[in-house]
Structure 1
Amino acid sequence: MEVLQLLCKEESIMKLPEMIIFDYGGTLLYEPGFDSMAMERVACEHLTANPLGLTAEQIHEHAQRMFAKVAEHRKAGAEMHQHHFMALVYESLGLEFDIPYSELEELEWNAASSGAVMPHADGMLDYLNSVGIRTAVVSNIGWSQEALTRRLDRLLPRNRFEFVIASSSYGVRKPDRLLFDIALHKAGLSAEKVWYCGDTPAADLIGAHSAGIFPVHYTGDAPGGTYRPPQWYEQTDIDFPYLAIDDWRKLPLRLEELRGPTE
């Protein structure tokens, strides 16, 4: 079904943005075949102390139990940094490694999934670069800001993101407007000059709107339509204006309409 519509009463509310900020997962990139077990297998390759003689499978079971505990805090709006989570999991088992968590984190993430680009996200970013619309990223993610930045740079090498904000660096998650306020300060822009694009209404649309930023709901899917369940979009009722778009090739078309004729 084609989706490119403004869901509001007054179309005049849409103004050409000076910057568009993006969510990460399911918006710009996704993680096909994510395998959390692979994380512990690669971690075991760097063990220097394992006093309980645990296997990768046993470590993984413990990590899953710890993640379930942390998930309750995440639901309440808190974010745990991946390095802290690794310390919680591994040090509670007496495990030690020959590399720091900052290196082990990236090995684990890439082992779980090397990541992939959402359809046409790279071309859409090329367009924004070509017309001088600034870009950045704000993501709900436990992985470190540094690891996220490297992943974005690896998979979207032509990006010109001015900054990348990971919730793990601040301890709070979208829809908390603090993350959006931080982004506005980093950009040096007022909210009405910025759009925010994300795939999760409860976090992305509500969070952006709370900070006065115009929200864009991206409803496109990964190849094969396997990335997110149908009920993903049934979680939240939205009663404010936003743009819904299902294909990144359509965003430039909408922006060109706002730009108007050029000489």
Structure 2
Amino acid sequence: MKYPKMILFDYGHTLLYESDWNPVRGNEELLKYVTRNPNHCTLDEVRKAAELIFEKQIECVRKLGYEISGQVGNKVLYEYLGMEFSLTPLEMEIIFWNGASMGAIMPDADTMLDFLNQHGIRSAVISNLLWSGAALTERLSRLLPNNQFEFVMTSSDYFMRKPNRILFDIAVRKASVAPGEIWYCGDNPQADVEAASQVGVFPIWYDNDTEKDYKDRSKERIPQCEHLHIHAWNEMINLLEKLKHESSV
């Protein structure tokens, strides 16, 4: 295991999590900006249409390993309802997302990022996410204002989802660092850990119990590759300090 020049991170349940998630509340916030609603759609009608578009249609594509942009999803949803807004597509993403959940920091993620910054370890993000990299960047900047992420990649901007290795290949090329000098941290044993390993990046399995959805994780299995398994960010900080010390003696 080499001291890294750069560490890449997953987003959800790695850096931040969606506390008290409520999509109805997100739609309620969006409706404050409606400029046209000829069919007089109610919040409940928006909810039902959102379930049709996002949970039944878009989810079918996601299960195949591909992604449809949330901005496209919103376009389909609100044209289906005949509604218009006084917002840009990006503003619609952010207002909905913040309304559904303002987000929260995973324990000590801010402390860990401060450590990386202080020790000159570069950082970036790769996330399976319906929302755009621009929307995620806004959220990361709001909740982790000291971050120095060089780039933020979301699957919605690249039409494919982890564990597709193309996302990791792109990240390595954007980093301009040899894969063996990069670590990748994520909470999913397959989409994060095994996926990073296939391109030569060293994977860290961040397995923390904060707001953990065990139903979604019922099909996960122990990663079938070399990796480091941690439960808290201070474990990685301690390891980095140890590797740094060993390299200096």
How far has the Cα of 1:99 moved from its partner? 1.7
Runs of 4+ aligned structure 1 residues displaced above 6 Å come to none
User: Quick check: 1:51 aligned with 2:35?
Assistant: no
User: Quick check: 1:62 aligned with 2:49?
Assistant: yes
Query: What TM-score does the superposition give when structure 1 sets the normalisation length?
Result: 0.90
User: Which residue in 2 is equivalent to 1:236?
Assistant: 221
User: Which residue in 2 is equivalent to 1:174?
Assistant: 162
Q: Which amino acid aligns with 1:130?
A: Q
One of 156, 176, 183 as aligned partner of 1:195? 183
- Pick closer, same or farther for the CA change 1:232–1:21 going to 2, 3 Å: same
User: Which residue in 2 is equivalent to 1:151?
Assistant: 139
Q: Which amino acid aligns with 2:29?
A: V
User: Which residue in 2 is equivalent to 1:252?
Assistant: 237
Work out whether residues 221 and 227 of structure 1, in 8 Å CA contact, stay in contact via their aligned partners in 2: yes
- Give me the identity figure in percent: 42
Q: In structure 1, how many angstroms separate the alpha carbons of the residues matched to 2:214 and 2:131? A: 23
How far has the Cα of 1:221 moved from its partner? 2.6
Q: Structure 2 stretches of 5 or more lacking a match? A: none
Work out whether residues 8 and 126 of structure 2, in 8 Å CA contact, stay in contact via their aligned partners in 1: yes
Work out whether residues 39 and 108 of structure 1, in 8 Å CA contact, stay in contact via their aligned partners in 2: yes
How far has the Cα of 1:121 moved from its partner? 0.5
Q: In structure 2, how many angstroms separate the alpha carbons of the residues matched to 1:44 and 1:27? A: 31
Work out whether residues 167 and 173 of structure 1, in 8 Å CA contact, stay in contact via their aligned partners in 2: yes
Q: In structure 1, how many angstroms separate the alpha carbons of the residues matched to 2:21 and 2:224? A: 34
Q: In structure 2, how many angstroms separate the alpha carbons of the residues matched to 1:15 and 1:150? A: 32
User: Quick check: 1:113 aligned with 2:101?
Assistant: yes
**Partner of 2:208: helix, strand, or coil?**
coil
User: Quick check: 1:16 aligned with 2:3?
Assistant: yes
Work out whether residues 201 and 233 of structure 1, in 8 Å CA contact, stay in contact via their aligned partners in 2: no
User: Which residue in 2 is equivalent to 1:133?
Assistant: 121
Q: Structure 1 stretches of 5 or more lacking a match? A: 1-13
How far has the Cα of 1:28 moved from its partner? 0.3
**Partner of 1:26: helix, strand, or coil?**
coil
* Alpha-carbon displacement from aligned partner over 1:17-48 (angstroms, at most 9, x marks no partner): 11000000000000100110012111211112
Q: In structure 2, how many angstroms separate the alpha carbons of the residues matched to 1:54 and 1:86? A: 15
User: Which residue in 1 is equivalent to 2:148?
Assistant: 160
Q: In structure 1, how many angstroms separate the alpha carbons of the residues matched to 2:190 and 2:68? A: 19
Q: In structure 2, how many angstroms separate the alpha carbons of the residues matched to 1:88 and 1:206? A: 34
How far has the Cα of 1:228 moved from its partner? 2.2
User: Which residue in 2 is equivalent to 1:37?
Assistant: 24
User: Which residue in 2 is equivalent to 1:100?
Assistant: 88
Q: CA RMSD in A?
A: 1.5
* Alpha-carbon displacement from aligned partner over 1:147-185 (angstroms, at most 9, x marks no partner): 100110111111111111111111001001111111111
* Alpha-carbon displacement from aligned partner over 1:168-210 (angstroms, at most 9, x marks no partner): 1110010011111111111101111101000011210121012
Work out whether residues 27 and 99 of structure 2, in 8 Å CA contact, stay in contact via their aligned partners in 1: no
Work out whether residues 10 and 127 of structure 2, in 8 Å CA contact, stay in contact via their aligned partners in 1: yes
* Alpha-carbon displacement from aligned partner over 1:30-71 (angstroms, at most 9, x marks no partner): 010011001211121111222221101111111012112211
User: Which residue in 2 is equivalent to 1:10?
Assistant: none
Q: In structure 2, how many angstroms separate the alpha carbons of the residues matched to 1:126 and 1:202? A: 28
Q: In structure 1, how many angstroms separate the alpha carbons of the residues matched to 2:88 and 2:245? A: 52
Q: In structure 2, how many angstroms separate the alpha carbons of the residues matched to 1:104 and 1:81? A: 13
**Partner of 2:2: helix, strand, or coil?**
coil
Work out whether residues 136 and 164 of structure 1, in 8 Å CA contact, stay in contact via their aligned partners in 2: yes
User: Which residue in 2 is equivalent to 1:76?
Assistant: 64
- Report how many aligned residue pairs link the two structures: 247
